[in-house]
Amino acid sequence: MKLWVGRTMTETRSSAGAWLQYRLDHIEPGHVEVSLEIRPEMTNPVGNLHGGMGAMICDEICGLAFYSLGRSTYYTTVNLTLDYLYSAPKGSRIKAVGKVLRHGKKISNTECYIYNETGEVIIHAKSNLVNTDKPVFTLTP
């Protein structure tokens, strides 16, 4: 996955993730950092990042952080809890940081922070992923 650093992720197994068009800025096992621009189709009626889009970004980045561990079985999200702290306007660039807090045989705990251009946390999310015991797909750049 280190081959992807600096690239905009438009060709991934996650169609939602590809639609986000985030750039992978940093990756190491259990930790990822991405950035993306808030496009008009990501906004609410007042022109800020829509809460549902924030949730999708967090879910995607929590999953990416988990898959950076290189596990052999597929884990899927079973819950996602978010705190919306500040807004970010259309056209601004946000940074999302995903971390694996604990990886277990059945459940893994992850979190995501989204920052605005001034470095304020605008969204904090926690998510649990459950092991499906199904073989994971191959991630290729």
Q: What is the pLDDT of residues 22-34, one digit of tens each?
A: 999 999 999 999 9
Residue 3 has φ and ψ, to the nearest 5°, of -65, -20
Residue 141's pLDDT is what?
45
User: Which CA distances in Å does 61 have to 26, 46, 95?
Assistant: 12, 25, 11
Rounded Cα distance between 122 and 79, Å, is 20
Q: Which amino acid is at 78?
A: V
Query: Please, which pLDDT band fits residue 80 given cuts at 50, 70 and 90?
Result: very high
Q: Compute the mean pLDDT over every residue in the chain, rounded to the nearest whole number.
A: 91
Sorted by where each starts, the structural domains of the chain and their CATH numbers stand as 2-135 (3.10.129.10)
Which tokens hold the place of 50?
């829509």
Q: DSSP assignment of 5-63, as one string?
A: TTSB--SSS-HHHHHHT-EEEEEETTEEEEEEE--GGGB-TTSBB-HHHHHHHHHHHHH
User: Which CA distances in Å does 123 have to 12, 77, 105, 130?
Assistant: 24, 18, 28, 23
Does this model's pTM top 0.85?
yes
